[in-house]
């Protein structure tokens, strides 16, 4: 066997082994197909009706929901001006905090800190203790009227507005307001109260705006400065929205009595009916295993807890 032939065989074997290693590494890589956005299934775990209780003057309207990192649920009752803590059985814990005005939306900005938008031009920072005591930390007067609120980073939040030409703005935990880059093409109109809501998918730098009357969900890539408008027969009067599993978005479709599941690119992954009329507010637990939904319709107000699981392929 000549030297040139031996060299060729050696190179061929080396190339073949390298090819096998690449194939194995691709098949075992964490960025395989299983990490792509997938449909989910929702299993109803707990459902409670929300009648008037105690000193309530009206039927509760849970207009804002969010989970604390330890799994407790926070809700703000717009009709009765309260902030409530609930456990995994949706039972109230401690004594509700009473606001001076009507709370609209709430977001947990740390393990024990809440930020609440108040009707008018105000944001309240609240602290929550391990024994479910809620205390006012700070009141912030704002120049715009804020509706929904969500976290953009540990120190900054995104808010939707009403009666303002800027439908989306930002505010820091220190109360500093700011605006988005003008390259982001927001709808050129002023929204009225309860016509739009927002959320933010932090891992994908994606801002979400729901337009109730246009039956549209707007998705904005704040890093690449691109946007898209999503319409679908299943998106009818979209209301609250929240980040979903695997960097997706979950949106309440009020008139379809369902939750619509989207990718950040606007692909519809699924539509999941819920056992209530007019789903209104929504949030997912920090570990991505539970989903809470409240509604807003004439008649019985409900609060429901669902288990989220990947759909069987």
- Look up the pTM and report it: 0.88
- Asked whether residue 76 is domain-assigned, the answer is yes
- Asked whether residue 112 is domain-assigned, the answer is yes
Would you give per-residue pLDDT tens digits along the chain (313 residues)? Answer: 554 545 554 555 555 554 444 443 434 333 333 468 999 999 999 999 998 888 899 999 999 999 999 999 999 999 999 999 999 999 999 999 999 999 999 999 999 999 999 999 999 999 999 999 999 999 999 999 999 999 999 899 999 999 999 999 999 999 999 999 887 889 989 999 999 999 999 999 999 999 999 999 999 999 999 999 999 999 999 999 999 999 999 999 999 999 999 999 999 999 999 999 999 999 999 999 999 999 999 888 999 999 999 998 6
Query: Residue 33, Cβ neighbours under 10 Å: how many?
Result: 7
Q: Residue 225 sits in which domain range?
A: 37-181+189-310
Name the token pair of 50: 């929300």
- Specify the CATH number for the domain of residue 84: 2.120.10.30
Structural domain count, the chain: 1
Name the token pair of 202: 């932090």
Give, in order, the Cα–Cα distances in Å from 115 to each of 131, 135, 212, 232. Answer: 19, 12, 24, 32
- Asked whether residue 247 is domain-assigned, the answer is yes
Give, in order, the Cα–Cα distances in Å from 203 to each of 46, 200, 221, 246. Answer: 30, 9, 11, 10
Query: Residue 14, Cβ neighbours under 10 Å: how many?
Result: 10
Question: Could you report how far apart the first and last alpha carbons of the chain are, in Å?
Answer: 54
d(CA 310, CA 113): 31
Name the token pair of 23: 């194939």
- Three-class SS state of 143: coil
- Three-class SS state of 254: helix
- Asked whether residue 292 is domain-assigned, the answer is yes
- Asked whether residue 7 is domain-assigned, the answer is no
- Asked whether residue 300 is domain-assigned, the answer is yes
Within the chain, residue ranges assigned H as helices are 3-28
Query: Residue 243, Cβ neighbours under 10 Å: how many?
Result: 23
The DSSP code for 56 is: -
Give, in order, the Cα–Cα distances in Å from 291 to each of 40, 179, 295. Answer: 11, 30, 14
pLDDT value for 7: 55
- Asked whether residue 149 is domain-assigned, the answer is yes
d(CA 215, CA 213): 5
pLDDT value for 181: 87
- Asked whether residue 91 is domain-assigned, the answer is yes
């Amino acid at each position: 066997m000549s030297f040139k032939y031996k060299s060729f065989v050696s190179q061929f074997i080396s190339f073949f082994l390298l090819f096998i290693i690449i194939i194995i590494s691709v098949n075992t890589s964490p960025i395989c197909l299983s990490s792509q956005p997938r449909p989910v299934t929702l299993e109803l775990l707990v459902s409670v009706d929300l009648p008037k209780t105690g000193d309530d003057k009206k039927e509760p309207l849970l207009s804002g929901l969010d989970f604390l990192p330890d799994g407790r649920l926070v809700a703000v009752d717009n009709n009765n001006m309260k902030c409530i803590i609930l456990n995994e059985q949706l039972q109230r814990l401690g004594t509700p905090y009473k606001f001076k005005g009507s709370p609209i939306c709430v977001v947990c900005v740390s393990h024990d800190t809440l930020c609440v938008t108040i009707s008018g031009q105000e944001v309240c920072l609240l602290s929550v203790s391990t024994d479910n005591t809620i205390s006012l930390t700070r009141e912030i007067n704002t120049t715009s009227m804020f509706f929904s609120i969500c976290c953009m980073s540990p120190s900054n939040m995104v808010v939707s507005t009403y009666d303002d030409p800027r439908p989306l703005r930002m505010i820091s935990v220190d109360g500093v307001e700011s605006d988005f880059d003008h390259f982001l093409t927001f709808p050129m109109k002023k929204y009225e109260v309860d016509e739009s809501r927002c959320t933010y998918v932090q891992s994908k730098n994606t801002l979400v705006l729901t337009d109730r009357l246009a039956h549209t969900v707007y998705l904005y890539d704040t890093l690449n400065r691109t946007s898209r408008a999503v319409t679908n027969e299943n998106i009818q009067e979209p209301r609250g929205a929240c980040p979903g599993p695997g960097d997706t978005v979950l949106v309440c479709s009020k008139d379809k009595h369902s939750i619509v599941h989207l990718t950040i690119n606007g692909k519809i992954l699924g539509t999941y009916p819920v056992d209530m009329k007019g789903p209104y507010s929504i949030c997912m637990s920090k570990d991505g295993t539970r989903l809470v939904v409240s509604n807003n319709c004439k008649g019985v107000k409900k609060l429901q807890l669902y288990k989220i699981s990947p759909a069987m392929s």
